[in-house]
Structure 1
Amino acid sequence: MTATSSRPAWSSRFNRLTMRLLKFGIIGGLLLILLAEMLSHGPDTKPPMYSWIAWLETAVSLFVIFVYFWYQPGRKHWIAAAAVASLAATVLDLFYDQGIRGVGTAELLALGLLMLFAVRHWDAPPGRWVAYATGAAVMLIGVARLYSNDLQEAAIGGTMLTGMALTTVIGFGAYLRSMDKLRRETQEEVRQAERLELAREMHDFVAHHVTGMVVLAQAAQVTNTDPRKAFADIEEAGLAALTSMRRMVKMLRNDDGGAGTNPLGDLAQIEDLVERFNREGTDTTCFISPELAGSAVAPEIAATAHRIVREALTNVRKHARGATRVRVVVAAASGNGLEVSVRDDGRAPRGRLAAGGLAQSGGGMGLLGLGERIEAVGGQLRAQSRPEGGWETAAWLPRATAPAE
């Protein structure tokens, strides 16, 4: 079983391919514009390729275009270099006018794209001044290109259009920045909620193991048990308690925690959970393999299985339109594990959870946190649409936790 279904993986690859093709298309268009600018000329003028200043502007334009191509979020040093180079080349062109129309349209468009990144990553180093420098470079190129025209009214109108376009880019960049901030705040909230839940569960898990150690010690005192075997059993229970504590502490320290504050549950409580869901009007059935009863499953694994069912039933209620049947199965699986599955026959609306993969921001934060929690105990999650209709949330979990390191 894989962590995500083949369909979301294919969708993710398709989205990445689409974005790459779009970027290559933009780069190709900018290069064609640059080539056309170098070769175009009027009836009585020479093309810019005969001017050394035009070649300098072309070099700067290529630099700006490739900064856009290689840009990665937060690396605004290259945007700053592109803006400074553009300002220097444009000022030199204004002071050294050769009477030949210069080059700058492709550079102007590429700087507009960089301006979007500069505003979106407003606080990234080397500072906010990068956005101001990039905006100044855009406006200066626009003024230099437009005022080379003899029609002053057209030049003034073009300058206003350049300013409006720049304002639009700034507004869109600010919107993307606000969305990034909202996503970070939401993730921080769900991480804090998960830490609080894990802190409560740590107490329950450790109490379970310590109680077992006490029972073993008491039994050894009233029976003729071999002391070495009694000590071995107590040692095993102590190691299990240490494993639970270390795993919980690791999850509490993890900065990529999951979501949701909910009460601790186990396999025995899954039937009650399904019964409550059934009373709300949906035909819901539950099957739990008898061989998983008792102490066959570690407490934190049982709590994770309960969490899977609870999250899946919540998603059915929120997102499965027209769902009439829900099937919950907790069965033994290969590899000394168990499989938890929740299947419904509802119709998925557009943008249903996990439609773009569990790791993407478009999915639900509950499902995202659930996937991270399952991975933390050594399991794997699968969430996908069913070929016969409906949705399936399933996970493979080990019955026992990994040994203490």
Structure 2
Amino acid sequence: MSGRFSRLVMRLLKIGVVSMLMLALIAEMSSHMADEKPPYYSWVSWVQFATSLFAIGVYVWYRPGRKHWIAVAAVASLVATGIDIVYDQGPRGVGSAELMALGLLLLFAVRHWDAAPGRWVAFALGAAILLIGARLFVYEGSAVGGTVLIGLGISTVVGFGAYLRSMDKLRRETQEEVRRAERLELAREMHDFVAHHVTGMVVLAQAGQVTATDPRKAFADIEEAGLAALASMRRMVRMLRDDDAGGGVNPLGDLSQIEDLVDRFTREGTDASCFISPELAGAVAPEIAATAHRVVREALTNVRKHARGATRVRVVVAAAGGHGMEVSVRDDGRAARVKAGRESLALSGSGLGLVGLRERVEAVGGQLRAQERPEGGWETAAWLPREAATVEV
């Protein structure tokens, strides 16, 4: 609900800005001094009117990656100003709405500083905005003051755009750091997954030596276990981007260890309960069980950090359909207390733990959701397959 509300507010804000720009443009075309004709009598003013409309349109439909259109708007404004200087047909040109629209585009150009077609777009926009003053400040004594005001406006827009750019960069770097840490942990856990599958292969080979089992059946079982081991490794290697996986080995989390997590959480002062469906015992692949363990661990950590008003936590690991399972952690924290701390984590994508957790869940073919509950409190839930997604070997 809050995500939709935020998008609605931003949409209404843009509609308000565009409406203001259009009203300013229409007022410019019709306003004039007592001894002057309105600008709409001049064809030069209509060229500037069209340029203003184009700049407003670029602002309306701008999306990251469409910086080329900002460059076109800057060049069009420079051309319109040049026409005004060469074919001066009146004391004042049209450009106030265009000035404000280009200022908004300058904010985007600075924020997306390195995007194509290049950094020169911001400088071209700055020049276009400054030169618009030649159209507007034509009355005696207005040129210096008007140029200073435009310069101050440009400085403010550039500063705010640089701030947004630095925040974008910090967010990307932080998310990448979280993903890198997640990949290192996956690399360490690979030892446990390989050991599990190889141990199964050894047991099958030993059993084949002491029983009267058909050799072909024994070899088929060993082949199946070997393919499962290869698939498990490839699934995890696909998640890794760095060669340095660090040292050390983390214990392999499983479904039984989830109860230990909940027990420790209860001892820390919160009433927490856990239910694990008995039919899942022995029916879940090791990497899936480890992912379920990670979901519960991360969710309980978030409860401790962001839901201090919660009195009860319910952890459920249950079968879902014939080949899936659902892991859910729900608390009863009051919405007013948890909204600021956790709603932003799920909706804005800034929750650093959720970034790595979502990557882990999706790597094994699952889906993660984290959201506020209608009856109050918070829910972190993941649907996971009981067997990891098939990977060609």
With structure 1 as the length reference, what TM-score do the two structures score?
A: 0.88
Q: Report the alpha carbon displacement of residue 170 of structure 1 after superposing the two structures with TM.
A: 0.8
Over residues 251-273 of structure 1, what are the superposed CA-to-partner deviations in whole Å (9 max), with x where a residue is unaligned? 2259xxxxxx9864111211222
SS at the partner of 1:327? strand
Contact preservation (8 Å) 2:64, 2:112:
yes
SS at the partner of 1:352? helix
SS at the partner of 2:325? strand
Residues 1:334 and 2:324 aligned together = no
Amino acid at match of 1:181: K
Q: Aligned runs of 1:377-388 on 2, under 5 Å?
A: 377-388=364-375
Query: Structure 1 residues 106, 16: CA separation in 2 closer, same or farther (over 3 Å shift)?
Result: same
SS at the partner of 2:36? coil
**Bigger Cα displacement from structure 2, 212-221 vs 48-57:** 48-57
Query: Structure 1 residues 275, 144: CA separation in 2 closer, same or farther (over 3 Å shift)?
Result: same
Q: Report the alpha carbon displacement of residue 98 of structure 1 after superposing the two structures with TM.
A: 1.9
Q: Aligned runs of 1:254-403 on 2, under 5 Å?
A: 264-293=252-281, 295-347=282-334, 348-353=337-342, 355=343, 358=346, 360-362=348-350, 364-403=351-390
Aligned residues: 384
SS at the partner of 2:80? helix
Amino acid at match of 1:387: P
| Equivalent of 1:26 in 14, 17, 25 | 17
Over residues 171-213 of structure 1, what are the superposed CA-to-partner deviations in whole Å (9 max), with x where a residue is unaligned? 1101100001001111111121111111112221122111101
Contact preservation (8 Å) 1:358, 1:368:
no
Contact preservation (8 Å) 2:94, 2:135:
no
Contact preservation (8 Å) 1:358, 1:371:
no
Match of 2:175 in 1: 187
What is the CA–CA distance in structure 1 between the aligned matches of 2:307 and 2:18, rounded to whole Å? 42
| Equivalent of 1:78 in 39, 45, 69 | 69
| Equivalent of 2:233 in 232, 245, 254 | 245
Contact preservation (8 Å) 1:344, 1:390:
yes
What is the CA–CA distance in structure 1 between the aligned matches of 2:251 and 2:121, rounded to whole Å? 48
What is the CA–CA distance in structure 2 between the aligned matches of 1:330 and 1:124, rounded to whole Å? 46
Q: Report the alpha carbon displacement of residue 316 of structure 1 after superposing the two structures with TM.
A: 0.5
Q: Aligned runs of 1:176-255 on 2, under 5 Å?
A: 176-253=164-241
Identity of aligned residues (%): 74
What is the CA–CA distance in structure 1 between the aligned matches of 2:330 and 2:45, rounded to whole Å? 65
SS at the partner of 1:251? coil
Contact preservation (8 Å) 1:12, 1:357:
no
Amino acid at match of 1:212: G
Q: Report the alpha carbon displacement of residue 155 of structure 1 after superposing the two structures with TM.
A: 4.1
Q: Report the alpha carbon displacement of residue 359 of structure 1 after superposing the two structures with TM.
A: 6.2
SS at the partner of 1:305? helix
What is the CA–CA distance in structure 1 between the aligned matches of 2:26 and 2:322, rounded to whole Å? 62
Match of 2:130 in 1: 139
Match of 1:124 in 2: 115
Contact preservation (8 Å) 1:143, 1:159:
no
Amino acid at match of 1:352: G
Amino acid at match of 2:384: L
Q: Report the alpha carbon displacement of residue 218 of structure 1 after superposing the two structures with TM.
A: 0.6
Match of 1:149 in 2: 139
Over residues 101-136 of structure 1, what are the superposed CA-to-partner deviations in whole Å (9 max), with x where a residue is unaligned? 210011101110111011101111222221111111
What is the CA–CA distance in structure 2 between the aligned matches of 1:330 and 1:289, rounded to whole Å? 6
Over residues 380-401 of structure 1, what are the superposed CA-to-partner deviations in whole Å (9 max), with x where a residue is unaligned? 2232223333222122211112
Contact preservation (8 Å) 1:54, 1:103:
yes
Structure 1 unaligned runs (5+)? 1-9, 255-260
What is the CA–CA distance in structure 2 between the aligned matches of 1:359 and 1:375, rounded to whole Å? 18
Match of 1:63 in 2: 54
Amino acid at match of 2:18: I
What is the CA–CA distance in structure 1 between the aligned matches of 2:322 and 2:370, rounded to whole Å? 21
SS at the partner of 1:135? helix
With structure 2 as the length reference, what TM-score do the two structures score?
A: 0.91
SS at the partner of 1:350? helix
Amino acid at match of 2:111: R
**RMSD of the TM alignment (CA)?**
2.2
Q: Which runs of 4+ in 1 moved over 4 A?
A: none
Amino acid at match of 1:149: Y
Query: Structure 1 residues 132, 262: CA separation in 2 closer, same or farther (over 3 Å shift)?
Result: farther
Query: Structure 1 residues 400, 343: CA separation in 2 closer, same or farther (over 3 Å shift)?
Result: same
**Bigger Cα displacement from structure 2, 213-222 vs 120-129:** 120-129
Q: Name which structure has the greater RCO, CA cutoff 8 Å, separation 6+.
A: 1
Q: Report the alpha carbon displacement of residue 64 of structure 1 after superposing the two structures with TM.
A: 1.5
Over residues 128-182 of structure 1, what are the superposed CA-to-partner deviations in whole Å (9 max), with x where a residue is unaligned? 2211111111111134312x123x1x54333322221211111110110000100
What is the CA–CA distance in structure 2 between the aligned matches of 1:108 and 1:374, rounded to whole Å? 48
SS at the partner of 1:72? coil
What is the CA–CA distance in structure 2 between the aligned matches of 1:99 and 1:338, rounded to whole Å? 75
Match of 1:49 in 2: 40
